[in-house]
C-alpha cells in the first residue's frame, strides 16, 4: 500500500470505515496529488440505486412526522461527529480533491457551520399568517416536508455541498439520496458513515440517507426517478442542461448550482493592497477550481498596469505543489483533462490577441497535473473569456467608464459571484443595485469566493437560479400549503361573491 493510500485508509478507519477490496471494484479512487490509486469500490448497480430510492422513500413516510426540532437532533449529532473527525475528513478532502489542508479544514468547517445553522432552523421553519378579507377567518401558510431529495455533487467541494443540502433537507423532514462525484468516492463513504452513526446515536432511522456511487448512469437513474421530489445538482452547465429537462418533464423540482464566470471590477479608488490579496485568493486559491473562483478582473485603465504587476508579483510567490507540503498554496488540478482545458483556453486567448503575463505552465510531470496560475491580459471579452474554464486562469480586461465596467461584467452567460473593489460609495452601491451586478452573489471589497453559509448561495442565468445553504434557501426543500380556516358560523365568499 502506498503512503497516500495508507493515509486514506487510516483516515477512513478512524471514521469507522473499513474498505474491503471488491473483486469487481471498477470505481477507482485516485489522488490528484500523484495520480495514484488510493482505493477501489464497486459502483452501485441499477437494482441498488432502485433499492436506495425505495428505502429513502419509505423512510420519508415516517421521518416527515418526526417533529422538526427532534429531526434537528440528528443534524446536531452529525455536527459533533464532524467536529471530532474534522482532521480525518480534511485529510480525505486533500487526498481526493487536492486541496491544501487549510482549505480542506475550511471545507469541513463549512459542514459544521451548516449543521449548526440547520439545528437552529429546525425550530424556525416559519410560515406567515395573513389578514383574511373575511370576518371570522384565518389565513396562514404551513410548510411541510417535500419528499426524497436527490443530491448530485461535484469533486471540488466534495463534502460541503453535500452537507449544505443534507443538513437542511433533513431538518425539513426530507430524506436524501446522494450521488457524489466519481472523483471523490472515499470522502462520500466517510460522510455517509458519520451520518449513519449520528442517526444510530440519537435513535433516528439510518435509512433517511442513502449513498449511491458510480458513473453518470447512476446519476441519470436518480434524475429520472419520479420518487425524487427535489433534485439538487452542482456541476457544469452541460450537466444542468441534461438534468433540468428530465426533472421538468416529470414536474419535479430542481435546484441547480452550475457554472460561474466570476468577475471583479477594480476601480481607481480601490485599496490596491486589499484588492490584490482578495484577487489572488479568489483566482489562484483551490487552483481556480471553485465555482466561485475569480476568472475575470475588469480594471480601470489608469491602474491596470500597476494592478497586473502586483498580482503577477504575488503569483510569483505562490508555491505550487503537493498540498501536504508546508508553504504550498496551490495544489493539483483534478486530472489531465483539466490541464488540457487550461492549456487550450490559454492558446485560444493568445489567438484572440491575449498576452500571457505569467503562468499557464505545467509544473512537474507523471500522472499528476499541476499548473502555475496564469494571468492573461485580453484586448476584449472574447468567447474564451465568456466560457468557464475550471482552472486558474485570470483574464484581465480594462475599462474607462463605470457603465462600461458593469456592461463588461454582466456580458457573460453565467451569474454566480461578483465583486467590486472601490472606496467610492456611489460605485459600490450602484454595483449592488438593480443596474449593477446581475449575479446571485455581489461583494464589495472582498473577492468572489469563500462565501459564508449564513447567506443563500447560488446564481442567475446559466448558473441555474438555485439557492442553497443559509437565509431562506430551506423553502426549496419544503412544500407550502396555504390554509384558510373559518371559525365563524357564516360562509362569506371571497371577492364578495354572492351565490344565492
Catalytic residue annotation: 257, 291
CB of 480 to ligand UN1, least distance (A): 27
CB of 98 to ligand UN1, least distance (A): 14
Sign of the Cα pseudo-torsion (54, 58, 60, 63, in order): negative
In whole angstroms, give the CA distance from residue 189 to residue 121.
Answer: 26
In whole angstroms, give the CA distance from residue 149 to residue 209.
Answer: 10
Residue 122 or 165 with smaller CB distance to ligand UN1: 165
CB of 82 to ligand UN1, least distance (A): 16
In whole angstroms, give the CA distance from residue 406 to residue 437.
Answer: 7
Which of 44, 163, 213, 292: binder of ligand UN1 (CB under 6 A)? 292
CB of 121 to ligand UN1, least distance (A): 18
Of residues 443 through 482, those in contact with ligand UN1 by CB under 6 A are: 449-451
CB under 8 Å to 88, separation ≥6 — which residues? 11, 12, 14, 15, 190
Of residues 192 through 231, those in contact with ligand UN1 by CB under 6 A are: none
DSSP assigned state of 43: P
Q: How many residues bind ligand UN1 (CB under 6 A)?
A: 11
CB of 404 to ligand UN1, least distance (A): 28
- % helix, strand, coil for the chain, step of 5: 40, 20, 35
Q: Distance between terminal CA atoms of the chain?
A: 84
Cell triple for 460? 442567475
Q: Is 286 helix (H, G, I), strand (E, B) or coil?
A: helix
- Where does this chain touch ligand UN1 (CB under 6 A) — which range of 154-162, 167-175, 212-220, 357-365? 154-162
Residue 110 or 207 with smaller CB distance to ligand UN1: 110
- Where does this chain touch ligand UN1 (CB under 6 A) — which range of 21-29, 57-65, 153-161, 323-331? 153-161
In whole angstroms, give the CA distance from residue 118 to residue 141.
Answer: 21
In whole angstroms, give the CA distance from residue 421 to residue 359.
Answer: 24
Place of cell 500522472: 367
Which single residue brings its beta carbon nearest to ligand UN1?
A: 451
CA distances from 294 to 25, 112, 298, 309, 313 (A): 37, 25, 11, 17, 18
Rg of the chain, C-alpha, whole Å:
24
Residue 136 or 454 with smaller CB distance to ligand UN1: 454
CB of 244 to ligand UN1, least distance (A): 18
CB of 361 to ligand UN1, least distance (A): 25
Which of 78, 90, 100, 291: binder of ligand UN1 (CB under 6 A)? 291
Specify whether the CB–CB gap between 414 and 462 falls below 8 A: yes
CB of 294 to ligand UN1, least distance (A): 10
Which of 55, 94, 156, 335: binder of ligand UN1 (CB under 6 A)? 156
Determine how β-strand 319-320 pairs with β-strand 148-152: unpaired
Distance of CA 240 to the CA centre of its chain: 14
Residue 77 or 292 with smaller CB distance to ligand UN1: 292
Specify whether the CB–CB gap between 411 and 381 falls below 8 A: yes
DSSP assigned state of 44: P
Specify whether the CB–CB gap between 328 and 321 falls below 8 A: yes
- Where does this chain touch ligand UN1 (CB under 6 A) — which range of 14-22, 179-187, 289-297, 487-495? 289-297
390 lines the binding site for ligand UN1 (CB under 6 A): no
Specify whether the CB–CB gap between 139 and 483 falls below 8 A: yes
Site map (CB under 6 A) of ligand UN1, residues 89-128, x = contact: ---------------------x------------------
157 lines the binding site for ligand UN1 (CB under 6 A): yes
Residue 145 or 259 with smaller CB distance to ligand UN1: 259
Residue 109 or 486 with smaller CB distance to ligand UN1: 109
Site map (CB under 6 A) of ligand UN1, residues 231-270, x = contact: ---x------------------------------------
Interface contacts to ligand UN1, rule CB under 6 A: 110, 156-157, 161, 234, 290-292, 449-451
Amino acid at each position: 500500500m502506498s503512503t497516500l493510500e495508507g493515509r486514506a485508509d487510516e483516515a477512513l478507519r478512524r471514521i469507522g470505515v473499513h474498505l474491503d477490496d471488491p473483486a469487481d471494484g471498477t470505481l477507482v479512487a485516485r489522488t490528484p496529488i500523484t495520480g495514484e490509486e488510493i482505493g477501489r469500490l464497486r459502483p452501485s448497480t441499477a437494482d441498488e440505486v432502485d433499492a436506495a430510492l425505495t428505502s429513502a422513500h419509505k423512510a420519508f413516510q415516517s421521518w416527515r412526522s418526526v417533529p422538526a426540532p427532534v429531526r434537528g437532533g440528528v443534524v446536531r449529532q452529525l455536527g459533533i461527529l464532524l467536529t471530532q473527525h474534522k482532521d480525518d475528513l480534511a485529510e480525505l478532502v486533500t487526498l481526493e480533491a487536492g486541496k491544501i489542508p487549510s482549505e480542506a479544514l475550511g471545507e469541513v468547517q463549512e459542514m459544521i457551520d451548516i449543521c449548526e445553522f440547520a439545528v437552529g432552523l429546525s425550530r424556525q421553519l416559519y410560515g406567515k399568517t395573513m389578514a383574511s378579507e373575511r370576518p371570522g377567518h384565518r389565513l396562514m401558510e404551513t410548510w411541510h416536508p417535500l419528499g426524497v431529495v436527490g443530491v448530485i455533487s461535484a469533486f471540488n467541494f466534495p463534502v460541503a455541498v453535500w452537507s449544505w443540502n443534507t443538513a437542511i433537507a433533513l431538518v425539513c423532514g426530507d430524506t436524501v439520496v446522494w450521488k457524489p462525484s466519481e472523483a471523490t468516492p472515499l470522502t462520500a463513504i466517510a460522510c455517509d458513515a458519520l451520518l449513519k452513526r449520528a442517526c444510530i446515536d440519537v435513535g433516528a432511522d439510518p435509512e433517511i440517507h442513502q449513498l449511491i456511487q458510480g458513473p453518470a448512469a447512476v446519476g441519470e437513474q436518480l434524475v429520472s426517478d419520479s420518487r425524487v421530489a427535489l433534485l439538487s445538482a452542482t456541476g457544469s452547465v452541460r450537466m444542468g442542461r441534461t438534468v433540468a429537462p428530465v426533472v421538468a418533464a416529470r414536474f419535479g423540482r430542481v435546484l441547480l448550482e452550475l457554472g460561474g464566470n466570476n468577475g471583479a471590477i477594480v476601480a481607481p479608488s480601490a485599496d490596491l493592497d486589499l484588492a490584490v490579496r482578495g484577487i489572488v485568493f479568489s483566482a489562484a486559491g483551490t487552483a481556480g477550481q471553485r465555482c466561485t473562483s475569480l476568472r475575470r478582473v475588469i480594471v480601470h485603465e489608469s491602474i491596470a498596469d500597476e494592478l497586473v504587476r502586483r498580482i503577477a508579483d504575488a503569483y510569483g510567490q505562490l508555491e505550487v505543489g503537493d498540498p501536504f507540503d508546508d508553504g504550498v498554496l496551490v495544489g493539483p488540478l483534478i486530472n489531465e483533462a483539466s490541464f488540457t482545458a487550461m492549456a487550450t483556453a490559454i492558446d485560444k486567448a493568445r489567438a484572440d490577441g491575449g498576452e500571457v503575463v505569467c503562468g499557464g505552465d505545467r509544473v512537474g510531470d507523471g500522472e499528476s497535473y499541476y499548473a502555475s496560475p496564469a494571468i492573461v491580459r485580453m484586448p476584449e471579452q472574447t468567447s474564451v473569456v465568456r466560457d468557464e474554464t475550471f482552472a486558474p486562469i485570470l483574464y484581465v480586461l480594462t475599462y474607462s467608464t463605470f457603465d462600461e465596467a458593469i456592461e463588461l461584467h454582466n456580458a457573460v452567460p453565467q451569474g454566480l459571484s461578483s465583486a467590486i473593489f472601490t472606496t467610492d460609495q456611489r460605485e459600490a452601491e450602484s454595483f449592488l443595485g438593480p443596474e449593477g451586478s446581475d449575479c446571485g452573489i455581489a461583494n464589495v471589497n472582498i473577492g468572489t469566493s469563500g462565501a459564508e453559509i449564513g447567506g443563500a448561495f447560488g446564481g442567475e442565468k446559466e448558473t441555474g437560479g438555485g439557492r442553497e445553504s443559509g437565509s431562506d434557501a430551506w423553502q426549496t426543500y419544503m412544500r407550502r400549503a396555504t390554509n384558510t380556516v373559518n371559525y365563524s358560523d357564516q360562509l362569506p365568499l371571497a371577492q364578495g361573491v354572492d351565490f344565492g
